[in-house]
Structure formats: C-alpha cells, structure tokens
Structure 1
Amino acid sequence: MQGDEARSAQLFAAMAAADPADRTIARRAIATAIQSGQAELAISLARKLPAEQLPIDARLMLAADSLRKGKAKQAVTDLEKGVTTTEVDLFAPLVRAWEQTSRRKESGPASLLTLPETSPLRPIADEQRAAMLFAMGKADEALPIARQVVERGGGRGARLRLAYADALVRLKRPQDALGMLQGGDQALAAGRARLSAGQSLDMAIRTPAEGYAEMLIALAIELSRDDNKALPIALTQVARHANPSNSEATILLALLLDGADRDEDALAVLKTVPANDLLAGEALDVEVRLLSDRKQYPAALARANAAVALPSAGSHDFARLGNVLGDMDRHAEAAAAYQQAISRSRVQPGEDSLWTLYLLRAASLEQANRWAEAKADLAEAMRIEPDNAIVLNFLGYGKLERGEDLESAEAMIRKASALKPDDASITDSLGWALFKRGQLAEAIETLGKAAAGDPSQAEIHEHLGDALYTSGRRIEARFSWRAALVNADDATKTRLESKLETGLTPATAAP
C-alpha cells in the first residue's frame, strides 16, 4: 500500500515459505515479485508450485527464463501446461515458431501465416515473421515484409527499423540498412551516424528470447491503454528478463510505472539505459518530462543542459532543452533553444520535423510577448506545411486575438476546421472568429459544439458564455462561465468571477 513493491515481494515470499500450503500467498508473492522486477525471486517461488496451479504471469516468467537459457522446447512446455487457453493459444505458437526458426526450419516463420483472424498475435505476426526470416539469413524474403511493417508507422516504428537495419548490416546489406533508417526520429539519426562510422547497432531480433520479448512489449503497449497498469507492467518485466538489453522495454516500463503513480521507480528504471544505447535519447526525453511534471526543474534542466553540452548534440537535444525552459516559464530562453534546434536541423536534414520546431519557437515567442517574431515563425511553418491544421489554427487565432486581418484569420481557422472537424480547440477558434466578426447565432452554435467536444476546456466555456451574454441569453452565459471556473487558471478565474458578479464588460471580455 505504501508503494514499496520490492519489500512487499520479499515479505510475501517469507510468508509463502512459512506456510507452503497456502497457494494464495504463494501466487501473491510471485505476482508482486514480477511487478517489482525481482525475476529470480519470482522464478524460485514459481518452481515450488505444481505446474497446474501456476498463474499466467508466473508461467510467462518461467518461459522467459527457459528462453534466456536457450531452452526453447522447455519454454513451449512451460506455456502448454497452462490452466487457461491463453498460454496455449496465444503465447505458445510464437515460441514454437521461434524454436523452429532457431533450427533454421522454414516452418517457423510460415506458421505465423496460419494464425486465426481472431488471434491477438495477428497485428504483430508480420513484424515477427520478418525478424525470423532475417534471423535465418533470408534477407530477400524478409525485406519486403519489413518494409510493409515500418511503413504502417505506430509507436514501435523506430525500434523495428533499428532491429531490421541491424539484421541487414549483419547480412552485408548496408544500403538496405541505411534505407531502413530513414526518418526524423533521433534514434534513427543516431543509427545512421553509427552505420556511417562502421559501428554495430546491437538492435537485431535474432533469438527466441528476443522475439518473445518483442511480442510481450507489443501486447503490453496495447494493454497500457487501460487504467489498470498491473498486467502491462508484468508483461514488460517478463520481457526485460527474457532480453535484458532491450531498452524499449525499459522505457515502456518507466512510462507504465509513472502511469501507476510509481514515479520514483520510473526514474530509477530509466537510469539503467546505457548512455551508448540508440534509444538513450528517448529515455532521456521521458526522464526529463517526468522530472518537469514533478516540478523538479533544476534536475530536469541539468539533464537537458548536459545533453546539449556534448559535441554530438543535435536538434532534438536543443528542442528538449527548450521544452524544459518553457515548463519553467523562461520563454525567451526557450525560444533561443528552439532556434539552436532549427539551426542544427538545417545542418542535419531529417533529424527533426522542421515545422514543429518553428511552431514551438513561435509558441515561446508569443509567451514572451514577441508576437511579430512569432508570426514570422508561424508563417515559415505554414510555408513548410501549408495544410497543417495546428499551424493554421495557431496563426489564425493569434491574429484574431490581436484584431489583425480578421478576414484572413477566419479563413485560416475555417481551413483548419475543415482539416480537423472533430478538434474541439479548432472548433472553438472558429466559433470565436465568428463572434469577433459579429455572427452571433453561428458563433453560439459552433462554440456549443466545441464545449460538447471537450467539456474540460475552460477557454471554450468562457468564449461560449461571452457569446451567450452578448446575445442576451444571460442566465445560460452564467452557466457557461461557472463551467469554465472548474478548470480555469488563476488569471482566468479572476476574470470569470468578475463577470459572474457584474456581467460582461470590455475589461472582463475574453481576449
């Protein structure tokens, strides 16, 4: 209850040893050991229970241990003796396929083609099959599948690109490997640099243990969308035991622990990612964000400054520093950091999405009351991405707030709304533009849609209240202003309270 999972696991283990007949305590001890990352304790406890009484997390950990020791057949046995069909139908087929792949049998990757449509493995079957074919040295068969997998995108795209590129390097296909590493992600940029220097990537998926870990990570990511983080944490801890060098699992675990309000554990886990790992930059991103979220700004700033001080510092490192400075309300300094990021992005094209950096710099400049410069950056971002709804809305709304070129501002916001009709913030901008231009009926209807789309946004409710009050619907206006009070910041609360007391005046109108 106090959040000390490691000590809890040891106490449960002591209780299980004192009363071996109590299977409930034994299962609780295993689960807590897995949750706290004490794999060896979990394994020793699991081996004391009859196979038919083992819970699924214990069985997964035993299989991971067998695979790590090169005993793929034993891992299949560990899973196939399961008391539920999950182990038999979900996990065992993939382990069996990898066992066959390790013996260079084509039946291994081919077996993934016969998975039922309802199998939870279907979404990751292709990525696993590509890895198996690469492991067997069949680059010509694997490469088209791998390209299809990475072109689909998704949160694991960079990790899979690195794994496939490493496999291609090992198979003496450097140009194909370089093609696999194209993209703006910092890990891919680091991979390209390492490839150019003739260094190893150390990211391939070659063994049953490594393939098993990838499967568990993919499933944990899917399950992480639920509020309960216990199962995805367990899957990720098992994946880390199967493949301790998998830094993606470590980063995912930190995110899950943070989601479970175990932020100290999350920060401790992130420190285990080696500085020379290709995903070290991603781990640092997460660490700095967690520190900032906890308002530990000196620590976050120190970590971000240390990264930009390195000779290898790139665009992403300066963007990270800008993010921290922005969180600290040091907006002018944040803008300077984003400018450094932009300069390095021009030197190293593809390292970062350039329009995003201009947008971030513009946001900092606006906060620093340097609207003319912010407007120029937004115009540059729009030149790069003319159909980007975020940029169009930001520039249009900024002009709207300042009474600049209202017709052009409304046109930008209308275009943004057409591109993202379900975005409540953009719908709010459109409603506010209509209000500013005196089209009250349409403004109220549009702002009402925005408020329904995102009831938690104070700004939307305030805008709707101002429009309602102006149209003479003063009771409804007060309901909207009261709704805005729930999530408003201090400055907005003061303005709302004045409106609730005396009504709308030029001094209390929303900007």
Structure 2
Amino acid sequence: MRHPALTLAGLVAPALLLGACATTQPSLATDMLDGPASSYGLFLAGQGALNDGRSSQAASYFNMAAEAEGDTGLIAERAFTAAVLSGDITRAAQMAPSGPDASDNGKRLGRLVVAVEAMAQGKPKIAQPLLRSEDLGFVHRSAGVLLAPWAAAMAGDTDGSLVRPQVRGDRVVDYFGLLGQAYLYERARRYDEAETDFKELTKGDAPGDMVILAYGGFLERRGRRVDAQAIYNKGLAEEPQNSVLKAARDRAASGKAPPPAPNLKQGAAAALIAPAAGMMSAKQTQFALTYLRLALRLDPQRNEAWLMVGDMMEAAGDTEAARAAYGVPKPGSPEFGAAQAKLAWSYQNAGDGETALKLARAAAAAPGAGQEAQVTLADLLRANEKFAESAEVLTGVIAGDPDWRLLYARGVAYDRAGRWADGERDLQAALKQQPDDSELLNYLGYSWIDRGQHLAEALAMVQKAVGQNPRSGAMIDSLGWAYYRLGDYKKSVETLEEAVEQEAGDPDINNHLGDAYWQVGRRDEAMFQWRRVLTLAPDAKLKAEVETKIASGVGPAAPAKIAAQ
C-alpha cells in the first residue's frame, strides 16, 4: 500500500506542530444556562469552557459568576486565569490573586502578570521586584529571570541589564539568556562582547534559524554584509528550503537596510517565547498559552507567537480563535505564508475545501508570495483531488528548485492524474537524491508491485522501508502485496495479517488480505475480508471491485509467478 500522499508544507518550511486536535462539544454546564443563571451554573459553564480551550467564553462566565456571588476567592481566581488565557492581560493584572484565600500558584502567576503589564505600560521599576525568582516559585522562575534584564534595561540600569540570566540545570535559560545578553550588549554598544555571545550561540553544525537570523542581523547592522551572507548560508546548508533565511541572505546581498535590533519590549517578548516553547514540549499547554499571551502583551505584532497561539487553539478545538490568530500576520511579513497555510488547512480539515483553496490561491497570487505559498496550494489541490493542477503548480516551483520533496509530490500528483510515466520519472529522480527515505521507497516500490513491474527491486525497496518503520501497516501491506505478486501466498498471508493488525480500518489492506486468503484456499475468510472492506468507506473503484468478487463468488486470478525473480 502506498503511503497517503505527503503534505509538503511541513517539510519545505518551518512549521509549528502540536498533538491531535480535540473537538469542542457543548458542555453540560453550558446547557444548564438555558434558564436563569445561578452563580454555580455560571461557574460550571466557565470551567467547561476553560477545559475546552474557549478561554474568552470562560472569562465571561467567571466574571458573571463573581458578580453574582460577590467575588469569592475561587471564582475570582478562575476569572483571573481565564482572562490571562484569553489575552486580556490588562484586566488580568487588575484581578491578580493576592488575598489570604488565594492559592500560592495563583499569587505567583499574578506577580508575573502584574510585572509584564507594568513593563508593557512603561513602568519597569514596578516590575523589577516582582520578577525575583524566589517569589515566582519553581514554575515561573525561568520566565522571571529571562525577563529581569529587560526590565533593568527599561529602568535605565545598564549594568543590571547585562547580567546573564542563570538557573541551575535549565538549558532554556542558558540558551535564551545568552541570546538576550547578546542583544543587550549590542544595545549598550559593547559590540565585541555581543559578537562573542552570538558566536557561542551559532557554533556547531546546526545552530537553528533563530540565532542564525539574530547573528546575521547583528552583522548587517555592523556593515559586515559578506559575513552576514556566510552565516545565513550556514543555516541554509541545514534548511535549504527555509524561506526566511533565503530572504535574509538576499537582503544582505542586495545592500538593503538591515533589520533593526529589537526594542526593549520586543526583546522582553522574545524572552517569554522560550519558556512558552519549553512548556509546549512538556505538554503544559496552559502555561505555554499563558507565556504566549504575556509575550503578545509586550509585542502585539510578534507573529511567531500568534502562530503558536493559533496552533494551540486549533489543538483545543477552538477553530474560531485559531483562525483569528492565523489572520494576524500581514502580507509581506516573513510569517505570512505559514499563517495563510495554517488558515487554509483549518478550513480543509473542517471539510470546506472550497474556502481552503480560495485562501491558498489568493496567498499564492499575492505580490512577493514565496515558494511556501505555492507548495501549500499544491498540497491543497492534491488534497481536493485536483491532481493535474497540483502538478502544474509544482512544475513552476521545481523550475527553480528541483528538491527531492518537490519531485516526490509532483510524482504523486502525476500518478493520481493518470500520468504514470511522468510520475515514475519524478519518483525515480527523487529517490536518486534521497535513496533512504522510507515513504518514498514505499510509494515507488508499491507502485511497481501493483503494476507487476520490477518486482525484485520493488521487494527490496519495501523491505528497506519496513525495516525503518516496522509498525507501519501501510508499509507492511506493500511487503505482503509484493509476496502476493511473486506468488508466495503463504508468506503474503502472514505479512498481510500483520498489516491488518497495525491498521485494521484500512480498506485496501483488508482487500489485499482477502485476495491472499483466496489464493491459499481460505475462501470463507476471503469473503469475510471483502465484506469488511465495504464497511470501511472504500473509494468507488475499490467498492466496485469488491462487490464484483462477492457477487460472483469468484476471487482474483492468481498472478503469474516470476520464477527468475
């Protein structure tokens, strides 16, 4: 079985990925509000909305509950949390828990929120004592120490701003604290020390595009454009499709104005992105969203933060909030392409392919649209079975960049459009560039197997793919189908039974197993598998094939054994 058609956007451009999305269901507590609302009902409705990721609705319910009940501590603290998660930091700072009935966790988060709000309002001296790590506790200690130098800089304390943040054993603080110190050294015109920090961050083979862009921008601002191009090329050696790095390199080469260093609020916002990403990796989604909202209070145009918020809202099932976040980056910004791609896919995943394609076409046609927009359009055209058009779009991209992933995608599109010779050529060209990619090996190998072509070579290819992915039902199916085509039905049955165990709901795998059962004389089991296929939403072609076998009572003819192979 060929692997489901790949989506290139995540391969060609940086992308932020989260876990599987949860669907939002009306909560029991919300249903209780059909009649006169009690404070308890409002509280339950708020808690249900908060659990579902609908933080704006949760904030409204908790506020109403607090007003009805006279602002009890528990309800007020929930309202504060909901206000933070919904992004209303100014209101949250006014509601920060501080009384004797407030929880320690609530008080600690309250200190951080009040500190950020003070920095956003240009009152850093209020923020400085609130950011002491011992007062913020273990959870928020990293955020506090990363923010402290920026608060010191805002307060005019140059020496305090240059103290490198440190938390023992915290690699996030070590890394991003050094990045912040580099920027603050540059701000203090201590350029040699700034470059020492930037060099430390970018040493090694794969330093990451964030620090590559930071160091390159510093070099451009110092008039060292050739050195900047060299550092951008270092990043592109690891991420050749990174459109942001390409744009930076082209800017440096053309002599255009360098990117400005971040101002103090922007730098403070960037410091909060780091612990947010760490919390996301640790599946602490509420803390991650908290830090993102705080970062956006300091820098409302922090586009990568909006993308992360959108991803989290999408994962929580709050599609409306996700789309609002994806809609923030403006045309011309480096993140616009990724934002439009995520916005379009949110409609595609909701079953609205027409809107998804409309958005993708508009983004691809926009002035200055890069490769990412074209690739997203091609992906969505393929997802909507417009294979010929998808291949045409990719042809324009490949003309300037014959990357194996693009060739793979066009090969799939050609194959699905009925142009196998063109698809085979692209897939073979992709395999020459990337001979060990398991999905590519499986797709081309299965394509040959299903056509009865190059069986010995195809068998070796799918064996290699299965070796890399021993739990992939699709790849195990390809191997079982290779044995079937070669006439080794006993081995085919054993392998296809394993494939069905891995992906019991796949109609193609169940059909293949039915055919293999038929060839070894297990006719009743074959009929069972074919009937099962009809319950698994097969496509029209497979449905007709299976219905014919069931109605006629005659299974498939045995493929000729290829003794030489």
* Smaller-chain TM-score bracket: 0.7 to 0.9
1:218 corresponds to which letter in structure 2?
Answer: A
1:94 aligns with 2:150: no
Moved more, 208-217 or 332-341: 208-217
1:239 aligns with 2:295: yes
Q: Deviations over 1:57-103 (max 9, x none)?
A: 54443232234345556445435588883346443333346556875
1:314 corresponds to which letter in structure 2?
Answer: G
Q: 1:506 to 1:467 in 2, by over 3 A?
A: closer
Alpha-carbon distance between aligned partners in 1 of 2:244 and 2:478, rounded to the nearest angstrom = 36
Structure number with larger C-alpha Rg:
2
What is the match of residue 275 of structure 2? 216
TM-aligned CA deviation for residue 375 of structure 1:
0.5
> Secondary structure of 1:151's partner?
coil
Q: Deviations over 1:163-208 (max 9, x none)?
A: 4433443344434433443231222223333433513445858666
1:31 corresponds to which letter in structure 2?
Answer: T
2:66 corresponds to which letter in structure 1?
Answer: A
Q: 1:105 to 1:68 in 2, by over 3 A?
A: same
What is the match of residue 274 of structure 1? 330
What is the match of residue 85 of structure 2? 35
Q: 1:420 to 1:95 in 2, by over 3 A?
A: same
Q: 1:97 to 1:455 in 2, by over 3 A?
A: farther
What is the match of residue 349 of structure 1? none
TM-score by length of 2: 0.75
Q: 1:142 to 1:420 in 2, by over 3 A?
A: farther
What is the match of residue 162 of structure 1? 213
TM-aligned CA deviation for residue 399 of structure 1:
1.0
Q: Deviations over 1:276-325 (max 9, x none)?
A: 32111111111111122223333322322223334533333222221222
1:198 corresponds to which letter in structure 2?
Answer: K
Moved more, 77-86 or 292-301: 77-86
Whether contact under 8 Å (1:254, 1:267) holds in the other structure is yes
1:216 corresponds to which letter in structure 2?
Answer: P
Percent of aligned positions that are identical: 26
Alpha-carbon distance between aligned partners in 1 of 2:515 and 2:263, rounded to the nearest angstrom = 58
Whether contact under 8 Å (2:111, 2:136) holds in the other structure is no
What is the match of residue 256 of structure 2? 198
What is the match of residue 383 of structure 2? 327
1:361 aligns with 2:390: no
The runs of 5 or more residues in structure 1 that have no matched partner are: 347-353
TM-aligned CA deviation for residue 9 of structure 1:
2.0
Q: 1:406 to 1:36 in 2, by over 3 A?
A: same
1:437 aligns with 2:486: yes
1:115 aligns with 2:168: yes
Of 465, 469, 472, 1:416 maps to 465
Q: 1:127 to 1:85 in 2, by over 3 A?
A: closer
Alpha-carbon distance between aligned partners in 1 of 2:127 and 2:508, rounded to the nearest angstrom = 56
Q: Deviations over 1:230-256 (max 9, x none)?
A: 443333222322332211110011111
**Higher RCO, Cα 8 Å, sep 6+:** 2
Of 374, 384, 388, 2:433 maps to 384
Whether contact under 8 Å (2:127, 2:151) holds in the other structure is no
Q: 1:28 to 1:484 in 2, by over 3 A?
A: farther
TM-aligned CA deviation for residue 378 of structure 1:
0.8
TM-aligned CA deviation for residue 410 of structure 1:
1.5
Q: 1:111 to 1:7 in 2, by over 3 A?
A: closer
What is the match of residue 342 of structure 2? 286
Alpha-carbon distance between aligned partners in 2 of 1:87 and 1:76, rounded to the nearest angstrom = 18
What is the match of residue 181 of structure 2? 132
The 5 Å alignment of 1:457-472 reads: 457-472=506-521
Whether contact under 8 Å (1:292, 1:300) holds in the other structure is yes
Of 380, 389, 402, 2:451 maps to 402
The runs of 5 or more residues in structure 2 that have no matched partner are: 1-26, 31-48, 187-192, 560-565
1:505 aligns with 2:560: no
1:252 aligns with 2:308: yes
> Secondary structure of 2:401's partner?
helix
Q: Deviations over 1:92-142 (max 9, x none)?
A: 333346556875559966553x622xxxx4246324423422431334322
Q: 1:434 to 1:190 in 2, by over 3 A?
A: same
The 5 Å alignment of 1:300-311 reads: 300-311=356-367
1:177 corresponds to which letter in structure 2?
Answer: A
Alpha-carbon distance between aligned partners in 2 of 1:40 and 1:149, rounded to the nearest angstrom = 42
TM-aligned CA deviation for residue 359 of structure 1:
1.0
Of 177, 180, 194, 2:228 maps to 177
Whether contact under 8 Å (1:31, 1:58) holds in the other structure is no
TM-score by length of 1: 0.82
Q: 1:82 to 1:364 in 2, by over 3 A?
A: same
Alpha-carbon distance between aligned partners in 1 of 2:321 and 2:88, rounded to the nearest angstrom = 13
Alpha-carbon distance between aligned partners in 2 of 1:28 and 1:133, rounded to the nearest angstrom = 38
Alpha-carbon distance between aligned partners in 1 of 2:279 and 2:140, rounded to the nearest angstrom = 18
Alpha-carbon distance between aligned partners in 2 of 1:260 and 1:88, rounded to the nearest angstrom = 23
Alpha-carbon distance between aligned partners in 2 of 1:205 and 1:507, rounded to the nearest angstrom = 73
TM-aligned CA deviation for residue 439 of structure 1:
2.2
1:144 aligns with 2:199: yes
Alpha-carbon distance between aligned partners in 2 of 1:484 and 1:176, rounded to the nearest angstrom = 61
Whether contact under 8 Å (1:499, 1:508) holds in the other structure is no
Whether contact under 8 Å (1:165, 1:180) holds in the other structure is yes
